[in-house]
Amino acid sequence: MSSDTDDTAETEPTTIRRGRDFEREYRLAAADAGEFLVRLGEQLQDDETLTVADETEGWELPFEFGEPVGLEIDFEGTGEPELEIEVEMPGVADDDGPTIS
């Protein structure tokens, strides 16, 4: 029995767009998290659009960011110590302003 579909064909990733909420949480080795953060930093330095993707799950999230970028460092030193670093980027407004006649 033959199949009309080719299981080896690559499929396009699902693009996460405006108007949809999306969240994923990962637990990674420190080296893998570091590599992700380096690549994130390179995109922040070089581009105006950041693209985060997971090829395994088949999604990508392009995001055109604005300024300023927020950076929060939170250290909890009591009990089991924990360090949290959060980066918050505002999106670029895509609306045209009103005109004066």
Residue 96 lies in a domain: no
CA 52 to the chain's CA centroid: 4
Could you count the other beta carbons within 10 Å of the beta carbon of residue 38? 10
DSSP assignment of 25-56 equals -----HHHHHHHHHHHHHHHHH-SEEEEEETT
Range of the domain at 36: 14-88
Is this model's pTM higher than 0.85 or not? no
Residue 29 lies in a domain: yes
In order along its 101 residues, the chain shows pLDDT tens digits of 544 545 545 688 999 998 899 999 999 999 999 999 999 999 999 999 999 999 999 999 999 999 999 999 999 999 999 999 999 999 987 767 778 87
Scan for tokens 């994923």, then name that residue: 24
Residue 20 lies in a domain: yes
Residue 24 lies in a domain: yes
Residue 93 lies in a domain: no
* pLDDT value of residue 2: 47
Question: What is the number of structural domains in the chain?
Answer: 1
